[in-house]
Amino acid sequence: MVFASLEFLTIFLPAFLALYAVVGPTRRNATLLLCSWVFYGWWSPIFLLLFMFLAVMGWVGGLAIDATKTQRARGWTLTAFIGLNLMLLCWFKYSNILVDTLNDMVGAGSALSLEWQRVILPIGLSFIVLQSISYLIDVYRRTVPADKSFVSFGAYQSMFVHLIAGPIIRYEWVKRELVSRPFDWQHFSLGARRLMIGMSMKVLIADTLAPVVDVAFAVQTPSFLDAWLGCIGYGLQLFFDFAGYSVMAIGLGMMLGFRFPENFNNPYLATSIQDFWRRWHLSLSSWIRDYLYIPLGGNRVGPIRTYINLLLTMSIAGLWHGGDSWNFLLWGIAHGVALSVDRLWNQAKIGRVPTFVSRVLTLLFVFLAWTIFRAHTFDSGLQMYAGQFGLNGFGLSDAMSVILRPSHWLAYVLGIVCVMVPLLQSWTDRQSGPGVVIVATVWPIIGFLFSFALIASRGAVPFLYFQF
C-alpha cells in the first residue's frame, strides 16, 4: 500500500484517523504501532514478521547498551547489534548482485556458477535499518535515553507515515512527542494541507513523467532529444516523487502531532555540489555526516584522509541507494569526486564563480549523475551518455514520438516552474490581498482532487523508493 492509492486514501487512512481520534492519548502509541503493522502487512504478511523482529531487536539493543556498565562492553554490545542490522540489510539488498557478479565472472554455464533463487527486498528496509543504527549509537553516546517501553519505541521505528521512503527520523527528534503530543484541529489542518501538496507533487508531475522516462531509458540508441528528455524527466520525476513523499510524511506526522524536519530545500537551485547535499535528502545527508563521515575523522585528520573520507562515505551512500546494480556505487563515487573537487577549489581560493554559472554547472553535473543512477546497466548508461553528447543523432526516436502527449509536456513545464519559483520568493512574499490568500488556500485542494481522479483512472504508481 502506498499513500497515492485508493486503498490508503479511502480505507486505511480514514479508518486509522477515526480510531486514533477515539482512543485516549495514552493509547495512541499502541494504536499507531498496531496500525503501522497492518499497513506493512498489507504489502506482505510474511515480511511483517521481519519488520516486527527489527523493532524488537532495536528496542532490546538499546536496553542492552544502556544496561552495560563498562565502556568496552558497551562498545561490543553496540557493534553486535549494528552488525545484526547490517547483516540483514546486506542479505536482502546485496546477495542478488553479488551472486550475479560472481556468475558473470566465472561464466553462466561454469561448474563454479551458483544456482540462485532471487531474494526479495522488503519495503522500507534501508530506512528502518538506518533509524535503528542511529538510535543504538545515540543510546551508546548517551545523547538519548534507552526507551523502556516497547510500544513507544515500536511506534517510533514502525511509524507508517515515514516508513517507506523516509525522512530518516532520529529518536531524539520525536522522543518528547512519543510521551505527549497535540492532536487538534490546527495541527490536523496544517498537516492535511501538506499531505495534499505532496500528493499533487507525486501524482501530477512525477507519475505523469514516469512513462516518458521509462521509454527514454529503454531506447537502444537514444538520440540527443531522447536522452535529455529522459534525463531531465527523471531528475524531475525523482525529485517530485521523493520530495512529494517526504511532504506527505511530514503532513501526516503533523496531523498526528509529530514535527518532522524538512527533507528537501530547493536542491536544484544549489550553487555547488556541497550546497546540493545541504539541500537534497537532508535526513540522509545529516545521517551520513553524523554517523559515518565524522566518526571516520571527517576533515580533522589531514587533507589526504579528508578526501578519502569523502570518497568512502559517498561510495557507501551510493551502495545504500541500490543493490541491483553497481551503477549506484559509480554514482556515489562521482559525487565523492565532485565534493573533493569542490573542496579543493574553495581551498585554492581561485575566485568566486558567478551564481548563475555555478547553478548551471551544479545542475548539469547532478543531472548527468542521475543518468547512471537511473540506467539499469552500465552499458545502457553509456548509451544514454552517447545520446546526451549527440553521438546518436538529434531527432526524436519513434518510441519517444509515440509516447509523448500534451500532458507530458505540461508536466515538464509545471515541474520546471515549481523548481524555479523560489528564485522569485522576494516578489511573491510582497504579494498580499484576499485573492492571494484564496489561491494559497484552494490550490492544494484542487491539486489533490485532480490527483485523486488520476489515481482512480490510471491506478497507483509506487514510489521510486518503495521497495528500498
CB atoms within 10 A of CB 180: 10
Alpha-carbon Rg for the chain, nearest whole angstrom, is 23
- Catalytic site includes residue 321: yes
**Spatial distance between the Cα atoms of 160 and 1, rounded to a whole number of angstroms:** 10
**Spatial distance between the Cα atoms of 33 and 215, rounded to a whole number of angstroms:** 40
> Among the options 281, 321, 335, 408, which is catalytic?
321
Q: Three-state secondary structure along the chain?
A: CCCCCHHHHHHHHHHHHHHHHHCCHHHHHHHHHHHHHHHHHHHCHHHHHHHHHHHHHHHHHHHHHHHCCCHHHHHHHHHHHHHHHHHHHHHHHHHHHHHHHHHHHHCCCCCCCCCCCCCCCCCCHHHHHHHHHHHHHHHHHCCCCCCCCHHHHHHHHHCHHHCCCCCCCCHHHHHHHHHCCCCCHHHHHHHHHHHHHHHHHHHHHHHHHHHHHHHHCCCCCCCHHHHHHHHHHHHHHHHHHHHHHHHHHHHHHHHHCCCCCCCCCCHHHCCCHHHHHCCCCHHHHHHHHHHHHCCCCCCCCCHHHHHHHHHHHHHHHHHHHCCCCCHHHHHHHHHHHHHHHHHHHHHHCCCCCCHHHHHHHHHHHHHHHHHHHHCCCHHHHHHHHHHHCCCCCCCCCHHHHHHCCHHHHHHHHHHHHHHHHHHHHHHHCCCCCHHHHHHHHHHHHHHHHHHHHHHHHHCCCCCCCCCC
For cell 578519502, what's the residue?
A: 308
Grid cell in block for residue 361:
554547472
Buried b (16+ CB within 10 A) or exposed e, 131-143: bbbbbbbbbbeee
Question: Are the C-beta atoms of residues 239 and 420 closer than 8 Å to each other?
Answer: no
Catalytic residues, which ones?
A: 321
